[in-house]
Structure 1
């Protein structure tokens, strides 16, 4: 349990961490810029910017910029997430049930417990209960960025665990959005979306990389899914799942090199982490902390409290309890040299819920509503507290592993006697 992982997997995760460090920094920058602007004397200009409407009305795509960021740009994020999910289950460590059981169980625990805590704190308020899924999501970019910055000497198994947990968490979040946050469903556009999706699948399975063919098919799939009433980001996941991970025998077999998924991930991950997610954060995180009733009233609202408690407490309890149960009732054990303090640090990192949490908040209460403003405060506060606590725990653990590493290097440097 929490072992080092395969050599290929460790190298790939190291590359992802380096990219996510920059992406996480841009995400924080976009959110901070929105917060400062929304609480400045020029806040009306920020609101006006988010409400600018662009797009063809004939296709029902005359949307506000904030909606384009949530429905359009996040589709890129979920496309990359779809690629990552498929890679994990086809060619990553998740293809092995023995390695998959722990992060999958931890991800489910980290979803169930926060949802239960939010529900308990909002019992009796039917409107508030619509946001039960808000504290269940872990932000991959933000969490990996924090880990990459503070975890210079932490074991590679911890990084593998966090990435895998976040990937499974994304899959659960995508399923929740599709099943519970679709208000009205139009069957015809959804059925029609299968046509460009199937054509896209056939093209990528034949290793077609031509953007002039794939991009129109992907755009048509997105438009039709959006028109159906299902949140358009689901289209991004479906398109990601369609891309092959390993080469077919006709193309030379797996030993000839990676499939098209790695090529697309290399191309689109920088767009996702460097542009799509930070821009969404800019449009989604702009909340006036002195809104209706002031900051005190906002923090006292049951929705805000439910989100903060769900992220800070629920994620930790869920991840730790699921990990303990897997060890208690299976033959799995913590990898030699790892401590439950390491697991605690990762569980705290899992409480950083930003991108998907803000998206679910908008879907639950409607963008710009008073409850949506409370969601933003709750997500920002809960994520910040989780990041600070995780940093405190993992910095201590990082010093421990650094001392062990230094001792090992000194021992190797000593001449033989």
Structure 2
């Protein structure tokens, strides 16, 4: 990773894949804007394997070209950003759809101390034929709304490709995405790290290319939705799992002693079976959510949550085993009592079918608690090892403090 050059204030960063028709205009606009504003800037191109004259044009205009073999919008941008020298970076496409001569408002906001300055087309102007109706009226609003529901970022145009950020903020984000979802991950990470974010209305122009765009609506839309769900385990696992589990427990509690009639509707053993299924399925989904959050904590992702972190600090394998074993024994005792009653009645009508369903479900849940605890225990061991590796040995610290104390004593007259 290159550290920012203190002499360069702003780096204009562009991804490129066969953009010979427009990249020259974009570079010229960016350089002219720097000159007009009196800003010392540079243009850095992340080239993703262009086979046309894009690289030659960019170099001839004084831009630095960083080749990137890994395919993808995010890969090209990350390569260029890591190679940039500016204190601030402003990124936008090189297809002339964004106005590279309008960098002034972005630079002003970055100088004010904002970590991420988002352009917003939806609050600005979208010129005719600049954006497909599917993107303008459904895709972008849906994905932006979903992102704000999950992460409360406040961004109105999640996929706007023109945005500015400080290099220091970018380095803190640790972005992983290589495709179009790179733009979404940036906002999520900035929001999770409580960075200062603001928006600037911009104008989107029809791009200047004669070929189709690289964006694939449904493929990239699905990849974005997938990323949002990966980073929001509460919405993917915890909320649906909790709803299923609680609904199942409600059905079992209601039908434990036999069929009931509510509001004229008969609820019998079939509803009880459904309740048992809901509770087992709900607990399984909750377990997967716990595993996902534990993995996130282990990998230092910002998606585990404070409540789960506190629970993991409290959790021990032994506690899980005790809770699970208690559930198993309660279920077994209940089933044994029912069996004894059945035998005492000369193996006649069982008469306790509902209770058997519930007791057996408790046994199954108990086994799930035990084995899930072992799985979470492995994450605890891994996290403990990481924490130990990050902390210097206490004996070494005491020796360092002892040497420092002696040195301070010698320096004192």
- Same topology, TM > 0.5: no
Task: Give the TM-score, by structure 2 length.
Answer: 0.21
Q: Which structure has more RCO (C-alpha within 8 Å, separation ≥ 6)?
A: 1
Largest Rg, 1 or 2: 2
